[in-house]
Amino acid sequence: MDHLKFYIDGAWVDPAVPATLDVINPATETAFARISLGSKQDVDRAVDAARRAFDTYAGTPVEERLGYLRRIIDGFRARLPELARMMTLEMGAPITFSTERQATVALFHFEEALRVLAEFPFEEKMGSGILRREPIGVCGLITPWNWPLNQVASKVAPAIATGCTVVLKPSEIAPLSAMLFAEIVHEAGLPAGVFNLVNGDGPTVGEAIAAHPGIDMVSFTGSTGAGIRVAKLAADTVKRVAQELGGKSANILMPDVDIRAAVIAGVHACNTNAGQNCQSPTRMLIPRIHRDVAFDAAREAIASIRLGDPLSPASTMGPLVSQAQYDKVQALIQAGIDDGATLVAGGLGRPDGLEHGYYVRPTVFGDVTPDMRIAREEIFGPVLSILSYDTEDDAVAIANDTPFGLAGFVQCTDLQHARKVASRIRAGRVYLNGAPFDRSLPFGGYKQSGNGREFGVFGFEEYLEVKAIVGYPI
């Protein structure tokens, strides 16, 4: 499956300089497609198209933009099984998960953008004048491989809803679902130049987007290190930068909960998407007196995970996305062993019977201390660290003892008490008692987990400038 063209100015075009990259199926370790790698010239062409389109598109009536969103939603729904299968092939998520979560949650962002746009007050009276919210301009969007379509949708949907134009660089590791999405956008009749897609790697296309003087805003999701690089490149042109970066989220189990049930749920939450989630609850904090019960429950949860062919509905976990990711996770499992943590379940190497593919053994460490590498570094794989605490103050201190601040989790039978604990956690989103995903609430981090917010009204406003018109008669 060769996808060698870029989508620029409403058409599929050849790259300026021919260069290709294989797309690897992580379950088989073999190439199944090729894409072109873009260059600065391709970014220039895409930015020029977006710049021209913005002059007109920024002034389109709300009802017209609602129409575009509705047609994208219809096209998305019609091709959802195809999108889901493509994500399974390119990044290894089990087909059931790709269908029910990866593709469906991506669709949610367009439905939410439609809802917000229909009700949003772009202009209101304030003081002696008028407050206007206007589209920020041309937006460079750089998205990751772990939720390849969800992160595209969480940025593209509010950008085009607000009247912005975009240049998208999806991850070169998992780019094909984004290219299918570009076909949906084209079929929806979005004006030429409003949406543009250029494939490529971070050092070339990503950095060209971040530094480009014709781009007014860059929204980046990825590692903290890469986010720092994007921010530095963007600083020279003083463009707005929105970032969703790394995480090392704590899951505090209070003494009054059913420890066995809470541990089992926490293990499965950590292993969602093979642990390749920025907000995964990868540090489980348990009362010290419940150590043995927690370890037994963790082993029970790990034993229920079914690893295998991600195209089989029987599989609940697939491989990691790449050899590089596999090697990183193996190295950190070894670090946990070397640092003296107790190996509760899993460990080094591939699972039995899976000799090919980037599969790892879902792993749980106990007796982890806050200074260990596995308690401090974002592993981005199915590895859980269980830390013990003596008092609630200890638990909160351990939870906050991290450079990250993306999410937190609190399990407590007393909801008011849970809320008090949540208010002490330095993170952008805190889930109480296994609360489900809510697309209307803001998502983003404190500290080195980034800045800015996605989802709902807060994500919508990231793509707007605020203008005061002073002296307008009331």
Classify residue 29 as exposed, middle or buried by CB count within 10 Å of its CB (0-12, 13-18, 19+): middle
The residues, ordered by sequence, that sit 6+ positions from 331 with a Cβ below 8 Å of its Cβ are: none
CA distance 145 to 151: 9
Q: Please give the angle made by the CA atoms of 188, 186 and 68, to the nearest 5 degrees.
A: 30
100 flagged as catalytic: no
Distance CA 348, CA 354 (A): 13
Q: Which two tokens stand for residue 275?
A: 């642990």
Residues in Cβ contact with 179 at an 8 Å cutoff, skipping those fewer than 6 apart:
3, 7, 35, 170, 197, 199
Question: What's the order of all strands across the beta sheet hosting 165-169?
Answer: 11-13, 6-8, 195-197, 165-169, 138-142, 217-221, 240-244, 450-451
**Which of the following is catalytic: 244, 454, 461, 462?**
244
Map tokens 């903290």 to a residue.
224
Cβ atoms of 9 and 196 closer than 8 Å: yes
Amino acid (one-letter) located at 455:
F
Contacts of 3 (CB under 8 A, 6+ apart): 33, 34, 35, 36, 175, 176, 179
Q: What is the spatial distance between Cα 469 and Cα 41, in angstroms, rounded to a whole number?
A: 39
Percent helix, strand and coil across the chain, each to the nearest 5: 40, 20, 35
Task: Identify the H or E element spanning 319.
Answer: none
Which of 139, 164, 270, 278 is an active site residue? Answer: 278
Report the chain's terminal Cα–Cα distance, integer Å. Answer: 61
- What sign does the dihedral 424-430-435-440 (CA atoms) show? positive
Concerning whether 244 is annotated as a catalytic residue, the answer is: yes
Residue 317 CB burial class (10 angstroms; 0-12, 13-18, ≥19): buried
- Return the structure tokens found at 458: 């807060």
Active site members: 244, 278
